[in-house]
Structure 1
Amino acid sequence: MAKRQSSNSVEHPWPTDATAKQLYGTAFRCAEPDCREPLYRKNSATGQTLLNSRIAHICARSENGPRWDAAMTEDDNRSADNLLLLCQKHASEIDDTPDDFPVPLLRGWKRAQLAEHERCRQGWEISDEQAAEVTRLSFTLEQLVDAITDLMPFSPRQRSRTEALDLADARLHAGRRERLSMVASDRVEDVLRWTAALPDPAVEVPLGQLRVLVAPMGAGKTEQAARWFEAALQDARDDDAVAVPVWLEAREAVNGLEDAVRSRLGQDPKAVCCVVVNDLERIDPVDADRLLSEARQMVGVWPMVAILATAQPGVTADHTVCMEVEAWAIERGAELMRVASGTDMPWRLWSPETTELVRRPLTALALAGRLVAGGDTGVSRLQLLRDLPRTIVQSRRPRDASPQVWQALERLAIRILQEHGPVPAEAIGNESEVWQLTDTRLVVEHDGVLSFALPAFEQYFGAHAITSGTFDIESAASRASFPFWRYAIAFAIATRPDSAQREQLLCRVARTNPAALSWVLNEIKPNQSHHPVTTRTQDTLPASAPTAANPDSDNAEADPAIASASWLREAFEALLEGYGPFAASLAPHHEGRLLQWGAHLNAGYLTVSEHWENTTPAVVSLPDFSHLRELRPGGWRSSRMFPEPAGDYSRWQWARDRILATLTDAIQRRTLATSVGTHLTHERLWVLADFAMSTAGTRLQRDAIALGDLRQAVAAMMETVNTSVSATWQHIGHTVSSADIIWLNEQLAHQEGEALLRPWPPSDLVGTPRMRWQGYSPDTAVSMTAEILAEAVAGYRDLVETNLPAFGPALGLYSLLPARVEGTITYSEAPGEYPPRLNFAWIPDPALDPRAPTPVELRTENEPGRRPYWHTPKGPRPASRTAYHIPMLEDGITPLGNTRPSTNLAYEWLARDLHALGWLKDPTTFHE
């Protein structure tokens, strides 16, 4: 506690000061008769015991308060006869109101103090050694508190409120400066002032609510959260009833959000408290979902808490709590560039691509830095994101950095990306090695764990680990690692100056995980062109093309058509290899090998045909022809003519588009492979059996089909299949192909008994309903819908694991499993007119057995007066550009009465996931 000192008051150490020692007997308490204030305290610096008192001068007083008496020398004025030991409180009272304490009163106190002193001396003579011992053993309450504090762990409650507010403000400011690392140091304060002056209001998060800011990297979501946090800081300064706000990086809260908040506050969040949880995408998706679940529970338990989280698209949050960060106006982005660079961008550098870049703060700042360095604006978003950490790293590199430091940064990036969080310092090296990392200012240490100062650094050094060979790109692109390594993979590929190296990396990614390849293509956004008059020659082929690597292969140099088709086929085969066993369904094969291609090149247009049976050589030259029928006698089929792809990454776009067309057809026709005995297999079997019996003119029973009659009908259809190249059947708007009949015939071999039963029981209400859903009672609707959902989840998992095993967690719903399903079936006021609505939520639960049936809990609700589902105004759902369009809520109508309801749901979920990855142009909804 600070002490006010006057000109006639001093502190004297005990017991070395003679004056204080003389007054030892009265020094135990204040001279004021009714005061029992102890007068000793410990000097923490010297270990001495000091008088916790003020020494008042009795005689040197006047009507105007304390003064030095000219008739007294300084020594007389400070002599024992003229001094009075008082506690802080009473000494201050004498200084402030001297008229209330006349000299006779003070002399009376002095006489009493001396009398007490004499009584003590008569009963106890004390030597200097004894006085020193008493001093050593003496302590006050303040000393006791200090000693206990030194022994106990640090708690935020030990800070004063002002200190806590100042610390939170300092952290906020440091974070902002860190995010402006790419800006020249002399322009940082200008950018901070410009940002603070923006007229946008802070995000609104009501008390007792959770909100999630969702935006891609560089959209400014962290700055919006900072503005909200700053407003909360000001509220806390203005009102002591408001708690100091809490800013947490998601990795700091991964072990428990409420515990992290309580640890930062030093107490339960009982008062009004704003909490920011930043960068959810930097932790494992399962941990992120659990953290959001904890946030929802926390605002329910502590209704005065408001939580704002930030995440990139794909977060598993209810759409009612998500807030999209809108792109900036072009004018605002241009102004930020001007402030950051100190100059206006010349009009000649503006382009359609530039206008898109300035609509995001991070890319606008990166573009400004590029202009200051003398670069141009003809760059992609990925290139800016890739160059951003490189620019910062180069500006911060220590002069004496050794190659070992760079290798340690790569190792740290690998550990963080693989373990989805900070890494213990001892796992990286000894103290000296850790100090070298933190000295780079690229790495920060907190509570014994290491992390990078900016998320982009993880991906930057992860990319270096890939290109240096420290970490295999196959491991980075694997189904488990790809969600965290995606930008590192894109950076590694885009930074290769040699096209052959880029193509080699792309081939390795495609063979490992087609989902990763598609995402990289979407991010790189190649400048693909199909020039109708440009013919690819041996000189223009990339060095990675098969003909360039092997000039003697089948006259490739003499026939550019073979060279071009071989170049395309390499990418096509790499992607098919990534699809695994499903490749045979995506492209015609013979005896396990891709069919032979015939190629013809003319005026920039390439024609590719497939042979019925030949597989070697892989590509041959075809003569000029005007129609495919001219080649059919030679065994050629399915001719395609298209502009010859040219430019970086163009063959990968072509190969993906070709596979995408076949995959889309399989999804729309719901013909992907399924395991024997699953409900999806049973539903497809029933639909095809129904078609076969109807085509044969056999009258069907309602709930079963006689297997004898079915086998007879299918045998007749197989005769047509075996005697034709391709056959189709049509009946009442449905079309069935040879492949469908072959599949049906194979499935019948596994059927036992006399009849094939309908997959789902018919309606349970008496009478013939006009609409299918009208025949089900509410109880039956709940139980059957729950079973349909459980079988749909099992079918979805089977579709992924049987056909797309390499995609794995890149598929949104698959990354969420195992999960429970909870929802409602809501009946409108006119159940005879409108079907009941089905709304349910996915609730991830890692404790569930992924192979066990999915737990589904449904209940019914009646909402009279509410409009039916399809009359409710709804805007289109924006499709995520990332690979992680993870669902949380589903809504629609009940699938009751459909022939294959589980199949329709499973395919809808799969189509949505593939669309998010770029492997399906449009998500599909299936109806009977």
Structure 2
Amino acid sequence: MRDNFSQQTKEIIAKQAGYLCSNPDCRAPTVGAAFGTDGIQIVGVASHIAAASVGGPRYDASMTPTERRHHSNGIWLCQTHSKLVDGDDKTFPVDLLRKWKQDAKEQSFEALLKPNAPRAVRIQGVDAAIEKLVGALGLPAQDDLESVAGQLHASADTDLAAFMRMAGWPQHPIALNLKLIEDGKQRPFQASGLAAAINSFNELAVISPPGTGKTTTLLQVTQAIQSTTDSVAVFVPLGEWSSRSESLLGTIVRRAAFTQVREQHLMLLAYHGRLVLALDGWNELDTTARKRATSEIRQLQREFPQLGIIISTRRRALDIPIGGPIVEIDLLSLDQQIEIARALRGAPGEAMIEEARRIAGVRELIAIPLYLTALLSRAPGGAMPTTKEEVLRLFAIQHEESPEKATTLRESLFDCQRAFLTAIASDATRSANTALTEIRAKSVVKAIEDELSAAGHFTVAPQPTAVLDLLVDHHTLVRSNDVLSFQHQQFQE
């Protein structure tokens, strides 16, 4: 029995290659206008990397049927190279085809990030199986795809406007810079580029250091998807979702903007690749909530292969349950810093930027939106603090200002976070390092916990790993490859 690709899976494979043959020596286009009609014709082939059945080229007995049918096991080729690849598994082994696929995906993604990038083509036609599933939703005849998409688009616009009216939304939002980092090269782009890419790469991750604006960026990406594509994008704060018992789709239809919407309407769009979930704040989930979110996202991926999912998080977390490209939020340019300063404080704000840039260590920090806003909004009397220590104190306090973070730190660390951070900084400084290994950091935390327990601050101290996770997720500590350091050496000092 062959584990064939569904029509939806073929479309994902084709879009990720940009409808070009994945053979780097070919790259021939495989889609174009159908002669004599208003339609399109597809001349490419979604070939299996590991064979769909026993006896086929590159068959892997260790794979499950689901893995063989998954788009990760497919490569988009022109008809000529599809025949060559399937007829000669010695010349075209699995590793070579996987490299072709990855290179084609990277080139396609990079092309989509360019201004005015063309929209991805949608292959016409739906699997009979999908038609059956859509029929099982039980929607009335008038709730067809386009009418539901129009209704949901309007609801999502209303919902997005509500998020942008909240107190945390920047007083002067600007288009933050994003960057795709691969092979040591940085490719800058903005939210509009990411919106174009989601049609072809239905899974994306947005990574940001503390304070660089991941929520702002994800809202901007959601807005760009709404305004430039025919998909419906819905913003979902994961911290808020985790405090409730509803599913991801269930929590959406409970909102005021979606009172006339049923989960089945969202499912209809998801079946057709017209729904994008923008999930914000993976780093805000505890271990239990992450397991729950992972389980639900994997179920959605299985049932709706073309569902778009974007996840933002503070750190590179191996437990993010999606593949696809990873983009990072870049620092503010000098022009962007000045624009924000003028908007918030006028000419005095611009003068504060000039003065701050003359202070070693502070110059780098005001390129981070959180700290720049803290300086402009919290400086006493509108005057620049007189010492670097005063500036850094403003910045550090800013991390604990939001009610959500304050509550988490109070409930989990009993407001002892500064004792842990001071101990970690002191230990790193004594060893003349700017970073500590995870093992060393745990021992430092354990020593402080013993002191705090003896002083009556703890009845049952949290596990050192949990303490470090909280400081990474909610404060100035960052983690990379089992090494912990402060976001900037100035905080350590």
TM-score band, normalised by the shorter chain? Answer: 0.3 to 0.5
> Highest CA radius of gyration, 1 or 2?
1
- Greater RCO structure (CA 8 Å; 6+ sep): 2
How high is the TM-score relative to the length of structure 1?
0.22
